[in-house]
Amino acid sequence: MPDSRPIGVFDSGMGGLTVLSELVQSLPAEQFLYLGDTARVPYGSRSPRTVLRYSLEIASFLEGHNIKMLVVACNTATAHALEDLKKRMSVPVVGVIEPGVRALLSRTKTGKVGVIGTRSTIKSGAYERAIQSADPSISVISQACPLLVPIVEEGWMNKEFSRLAVREYLTGMSESGVDAVVLGCTHYPLLRSVIASEFPGFELVDSSVEMSRAVSAIVSEKSLSSTGPGGVRIMVTDVTEQVADLQHLFFPHPVERTEEVVVPEIQTEP
């Protein structure tokens, strides 16, 4: 029995479109409903409690749109909200961290792996915990790289500037014997070739690719597949100047429509 309900995908902003891009290629018959919280981006510099609240609000909003699965494309939201989302949602919830970690562990030979991401993702320790609960013998070196997101959004991936920043952030990791690095932020796949050319010794793990494999596996295992037609609807919480540019940068595929929505707030005392 085909299941034509959409798959919900959410991110703090437009970066999660790199994940959606992999998903539509792996699952062309599925309907996708993407929510980018552009009114409140970036989650990477918010407190864990605030990120949790925003994530719950969005999950509840997407549940109201009858999704059959929730894909948390945002590393920061996965770090701070995945466990709560899994408990509260009746549909399967997939975060971006576990699939990346599995790939990382399968590729390292030295047993030293690297994690790069936003300040908040790194500070959360979520990747370290996932890696060490899977294999406690692995050493993890983490590095927050706050400038890489604005470099990508400025379109400066191929400037000298971008090489300098990559070198500044990753040299220590390379000198420590790390041989596999997970790109722990949705924007980083666009810097993959710069990182690869500066640090050819690294096996680079692209979370969006790994996540799309995990989603395909769950769709199949839980008999959730649709027989089509596939399609993509993009919703944002603020139509900013950048929305169209970033959509074009991160998602070079057709989109049925892009629209602004209001996600109802859950106001809590601090």
Query: Which residues are annotated as catalytic?
Result: 74, 185
**Where does this chain touch its own copies (CB under 8 A) — which range of 27-35, 36-44, 95-103, 207-215?**
36-44
The three-state DSSP-derived secondary structure of 51-106 is HHHHHHHHHHHHHCCCCCEEEECCHHHHHHHHHHHHHHCCCCEEECHHHHHHHHHH
φ and ψ of 262, to 5 deg: -105, 125
**Shortest reach from residue 76's CB to its own copies, in Å:** 12
Q: Which stretch binds its own copies (CB under 8 A): 40-48, 88-96, 131-139, 193-201?
A: 40-48
Residue 17 in contact with its own copies, rule: CB under 8 A? no
Binding residue for its own copies (CB under 8 A) from 137, 200, 252, 265? Answer: 265
Q: By CB under 8 A, is residue 240 in contact with its own copies?
A: yes
- Select from 90, 133, 137, 267 the one that contacts its own copies (CB under 8 A): 267
Q: How far is the CB of 263 from its own copies (least distance, A)?
A: 11
For the chain, the DSSP string reads: ----PPEEEEESSSTTHHHHHHHHHH-TTSEEEEEE-TTT--GGGS-HHHHHHHHHHHHHHHHTTT-SEEEE--HHHHHHHHHHHHHH-SS-EEESHHHHHHHHHHH-SSSEEEEEE-HHHHHHTHHHHHHHHH-TT-EEEEEE-TTHHHHHHTT-TTSHHHHHHHHHHHHHHHHTT--EEEE-STTGGGGHHHHHHH-TTPEEEEHHHHHHHHHHHHHHHTT----S--EEEEEESS--HHHHHHHHHH--S--SEEEE--PPP-----
* Binding window for its own copies (CB under 8 A); candidates: 2-10, 101-109, 203-211, 262-270: 262-270
Q: How far is the CB of 227 from its own copies (least distance, A)?
A: 34
Q: What's the closest the beta carbon of residue 60 comes to its own copies, in angstroms? A: 16
- Identify the residue among 45, 66, 197, 220 touching its own copies (CB under 8 A): 45
Nearer to its own copies by Cβ, of 55 and 108: the residue is 55
Residue type at position 178: V
Q: Which two tokens stand for residue 184?
A: 């722990």
Instruction: Give the nearest distance from C-beta 260 to its own copies in angstroms.
Output: 5
**Which residues from 133-172 bind its own copies, rule CB under 8 A?**
146-147, 149-151, 153-154, 156, 159-161, 164-165, 168
Among 25, 66, 135, 239, binds its own copies (CB under 8 A): 239
Residues in 174-233 that interact with its own copies by CB under 8 A? none
List interacting residues with its own copies (CB under 8 A): 38-41, 45-47, 50, 119-120, 123, 146-147, 149-151, 153-154, 156, 159-161, 164-165, 168, 238-242, 260-262, 265, 267, 269-270
